[in-house]
Amino acid sequence: MPLSQAAVPPPMVVAPSAPVHSVQPASSEAAYEVGYGKPPVARRFKPGQSGNPRGRPKGSKNLDTMVREILDERITVNTPTGPKRVPRIEVLLRKSIEVAAKGNPRMVEQVLRQYAAAYAAQASAQAVATEAAVEVSEADVLAMAQYRDMVAADILAGLGLAGDAS
């Protein structure tokens, strides 16, 4: 093919960036500049109108919900004592532990990490329960009441109402 007849691509045309236009509204509003984040008045959402009118259908589930439902689902497994219905997550955990016990280093690391997280969660739950179960003796209640009365008297004295404390 001669050089003059070779396929020459057309020159690239680059679109200019979106210009900013001034729109004169029909009403008595001042000039409104249309641009990024400033749509024309006629194209804005009407009050009470959604930007996604169809939206997510009611009852549809997100990924986290589906994962929880599937892993909480009970399935039948055969055990030495006969068939048993257990949550799917339990089956997966038992299999992971079995594979780790056979020496798979990645599974050993994963099982130990999961065990440490479960142990830490249990320990923090026990600590919260212990803090909530702190008993207050009658002497402590009496001391707190006396302190409250003392602080109230000081406040009233500062306001010039010292004789009104009860």
Question: Residues 145, 159: one domain?
Answer: yes
Question: Residues 144, 104: one domain?
Answer: no
* Cα distance between residue 133 and residue 44, in whole Å: 57
For 144-151, what is the mean pLDDT? Answer: 86
Question: Residues 67, 128: one domain?
Answer: yes
Question: Residues 151, 118: one domain?
Answer: no
Q: Is 103 left (phi over 0), alpha (psi -120 to 50) or beta?
A: left
For 155-163, what is the mean pLDDT? Answer: 71
User: Across-strand partners of 34?
Assistant: 21
CA dihedral 116, 121, 122, 124 (to 10 degrees): 120
- Domain span including residue 160: 136-166
Q: Tokens standing for 126?
A: 């026990």
Question: Residues 73, 118: one domain?
Answer: yes
For 16-26, what is the mean pLDDT? Answer: 53
Structural domains of the chain, count: 2
Question: Residues 126, 147: one domain?
Answer: no
Say what percent of the chain tops pLDDT 90. Answer: 28
Burial class (CB in 10 A: 0-12, 13-18, 19+), 108: middle
The tens digit of pLDDT for each residue in 111-133 reads 999 989 988 888 888 887 776 66
Nearest to 25 by CA among 43, 40, 36, 39: 40
Residue 141 placed within a domain: yes
C-alpha angle 102-108-111 in degrees, rounded to nearest 5: 120
Question: Residues 127, 149: one domain?
Answer: no
Q: DSSP secondary-structure letter at 8? A: -
Question: Residues 91, 105: one domain?
Answer: yes
Question: Residues 145, 124: one domain?
Answer: no
Residue 10 placed within a domain: no
Question: Residues 76, 106: one domain?
Answer: yes
**Position 36, amino acid:** Y
Residue 99 placed within a domain: yes
Question: Residues 98, 154: one domain?
Answer: no
How far is CA 40 from each of CA 24, 34, 49, rounded to the nearest angstrom? 10, 6, 16
Residue 124 placed within a domain: yes
Average pLDDT along the chain: 80
Q: Go through the chain and tell me how many residues it has.
A: 166
How far is CA 65 from each of CA 55, 69, 74, rounded to the nearest angstrom? 18, 6, 16
Residue 126 placed within a domain: yes
Residue 6 placed within a domain: no
pLDDT band, residue 64 (cuts 50/70/90):
very high
Nearest to 37 by CA among 11, 18, 15: 18
Cα 35 to chain centroid distance, Å, stands at 33
Residue 113 placed within a domain: yes
Query: What pLDDT, on the 0 to 100 scale, is given for residue 28?
Result: 43
Question: Residues 86, 101: one domain?
Answer: yes
